[in-house]
A = this chain, B = another copy of it.
Amino acid sequence: MSMRQVTPAPGKASGTPKKADVTRVQILLAAAQLFSQKGYAETTLRQVAEKVSLKPASVYYHFESKEQILEEVLNAGIVYIKTSVETALAGVPADAAFRDRFNAAVRAHLRVMLDHRDEAGTYIRVYSNLPPIAKFRSRKARQEYTNIWRALLEDAQARGDIAQDVDLGLFLPFILGAMNRAAEWYTPKRGTIPQLADLITRLVCDGAAPRRAAL
């Protein structure tokens, strides 16, 4: 699943591939990369234009404003992440161990965010320093995504895989935030994405202390 399929144009059924909405998508991709690398305010439309070999003015044929580009980039990013995690969860039996379902979700989230950094990572990286309007507009999609995780964790707590006295109101944002922050520091040099996913799963399920079971 690529961002390409996610943003053909607002309100357009995927019938004709259309001749040059291609440019539109190229702009979105370039913008996503730049926003992700340097932040929204620090990125100029000239840089976006140059990256797709256009003159700045031409960008305005495809988009009304810089902010509209941002909005679409954000939405595409979160839809992309959401779909990936949903797909990953669907690939694990619903009655599988919590550990396995959780690990699959974590791995999917990390993979999208760290592997396809430019495409979806933008959402995570740029979100904090945004004009409040943009934050508000993407709020709904963001919440829908969070709900996937909430359901996963609430279910685990109901089944006794997570202790009753763990406050999900703190745990949920903590664990999502912890994963998202990885976009800031992760490099393949530190380890693979599955390794990181395993570490997180281990922390959540067992902690980092040595197993004291077999004693």
Q: Is the Cβ of B205 less than 8 Å from the Cβ of A204?
A: no
Q: Is the Cβ of B209 less than 8 Å from the Cβ of A191?
A: no
Q: Which residues of B contact A41 (CB under 8 A)?
A: 39, 41-42, 129
- List A residues at the B interface (Cβ < 8 Å): 38-39, 41-42, 125, 128-129, 160-164, 166-167, 169-171, 173-174, 177-178, 180-182, 184-186, 190-191, 195-196, 199-200, 202-213
Q: Which residues of B contact A169 (CB under 8 A)?
A: 190-191
Q: Which of B129, B166, B174 contacts A38 (CB 8 A)?
A: B129
Q: Is the Cβ of B42 less than 8 Å from the Cβ of A163?
A: no
A53 CB, min distance to chain B CBs, angstroms: 25
Among A125, A190, A208, find the residue whose CB has the most chain B CB atoms closer than 10 A. A208
Q: Is the Cβ of A195 less than 8 Å from the Cβ of B178?
A: no
Q: Is the Cβ of A184 less than 8 Å from the Cβ of B128?
A: yes
Q: Which of B128, B162, B173, B212 contacts A208 (CB 8 A)?
A: B162
CB-CB nearest in chain B for A180? B181
Q: Which of B184, B203, B210 contacts A203 (CB 8 A)?
A: B203
Q: Which of B125, B161, B190, B213 contacts A209 (CB 8 A)?
A: B161
Q: Which of B170, B178, B211 contacts A196 (CB 8 A)?
A: B170
- Provided the pairs A129-B38, A129-B129 are in contact, do residues A170 and B190 lie with their beta carbons within 8 angstroms? yes
CA distance A181 to B177 in the complex (A): 6
CB-CB nearest in chain B for A132? B38
Among A125, A162, A178, A200, find the residue whose CB has the most chain B CB atoms closer than 10 A. A178
A150 CB, min distance to chain B CBs, angstroms: 14
Q: Is the Cβ of B42 less than 8 Å from the Cβ of A129?
A: yes
CA distance A42 to B208 in the complex (A): 40
CA distance A42 to B185 in the complex (A): 23
Q: Is the Cβ of B162 less than 8 Å from the Cβ of A174?
A: no
Among A160, A164, A200, find the residue whose CB has the most chain B CB atoms closer than 10 A. A200
Q: Which residues of B contact A182 (CB under 8 A)?
A: 174, 177
- Provided the pairs A41-B39, A128-B184 are in contact, do residues A205 and B199 lie with their beta carbons within 8 angstroms? no
Q: Which residues of B contact A38 (CB under 8 A)?
A: 129
